[in-house]
Amino acid sequence: MGLFERWLSLWVGLAILAGLLLGNMAPGLFNLIAGFEYASVNLVVAVLIWAMVYPMMVAVDFGSLRDIGGKPKGLIITVVVNWLVKPFTMAALAVLFFDYIYSGIISGEDAQQYIAGLILLGAAPCTAMVFVWSQMTKGDPAYTLVQVSVNDLIMIVAFAPIVALLLGVTDIAIPWQTLLLSVGLYVVVPLAAGALTRRAVIAGHAGDIGAVDRFTARLKPTSMIGLLATVVLLFAFQAETIVSQPVLIVLIAIPIILQSYGIFAVAYAAAWAWKLPHNIAAPCALIGTSNFFELAVAVAIGLFGLSSGAALATVVGVLVEVPVMLSLVAIANRTNKNFSDSTR
């Protein structure tokens, strides 16, 4: 794990402070940036999101899908958790907290926005950082690659319908056109561009797959700059709201954290019950827990706007992702003796 990834929460925290300061000092500048839109898509944010997502998509190897049947149990657990459990439990927790527990603190209109943001987080599968979490638990790297590839393919067809279903159930208006446009812009197109780039890089280096790792390593700073710049923008737009309600960040974080530990427990227990070896069980549970927060942020901005509560909720997801995942890595490493060493 590189210096940036290890201290991601610190950098995100600093970006939040920068956004709050700039938002209060120069609100006119950020209102001007908010006006750079086409078809409900902010062009500045679109460029930043692409900078975040594209390097991750280059790392995805769809050739690994030929090994999809090698370790089916772990794959089944993660797919079920990612697509049949996590989106719905996140929606349920969001409604529980914002419609009931926080009802005397947060207005109904704001609550709907925060619920929408958490739904987007819950429906977005694992981020590329799962490769880091898997490595830290000595997980099977080939299995992790298959998992990411399968989830990315499912995401193309399942993300929009699941989001629309959960937004509809929670009585939030569904801007279908913008939702489909966001999936196309931030999932389908980057995934296709990443696959074509990966093929070109390998072909240009006489079939050396290691060239892809070197290529994505050079792109990593661009990805991180895109993430931090997006956080600065989002918190600049929310500056007045947050400064007047600093406890809001904590309130949004609580259901996200509960969801993360709960999903990990379910997936890890299922892997143990199914007698999976630890090098499959650990990445299986971590992949099921992780959120593709870059996608959630992008779609929240596209659907509800830069200054929306939904966008703010997804950025809080960025803030808590790394410390929570690192704690889960520690739990997985401390409990590895409880798992079989046999391959299944």
pLDDT of residue 241: 73
Residue 343: what pLDDT?
Answer: 44
Whole-number average pLDDT of the chain: 84
What pLDDT was estimated at residue 344? 42
Is the pLDDT at 70 greater than 70? The verdict is no
Structure tokens at 77: 């657990």
Contact in structure between 53 and 190 (CB atoms under 8 Å) = yes
Window from 103-117, 133-147, 171-185 with minimum mean pLDDT:
171-185
CB atoms within 10 A of CB 170: 19
Give me the pLDDT at residue 64, please.
64
Model confidence band, residue 305 (pLDDT cutoffs 50, 70, 90): confident
DSSP one-letter string for 88-119: HHHHHHHHIIIIIITTTTS-HHHHHHHHHHHH
State how far the Cα of 76 lies from the Cα of 340, in Å rounded to an integer: 18
Residue with tokens 């349920």: 92
Query: Could you state, in order of their start, the residue ranges of all structural domains in the chain?
Result: 3-334
What's the fold here for domain 3-334? Na+/H+ antiporter like fold (1.20.1530)
Asked if residue 342 has pLDDT above 70, the reply is no
- Assess whether pLDDT exceeds 60 at residue 54: yes
Question: For 71-125, how does the pLDDT look when each residue is reduced to its tens digit (9 = 90+)?
Answer: 688 889 999 999 999 999 999 999 999 999 999 899 999 999 999 999 999 998 8
**197-249 confidence digits (pLDDT tens):** 999 999 999 888 889 889 988 887 887 788 788 888 878 877 877 787 788 98
pTM of the model: 0.79
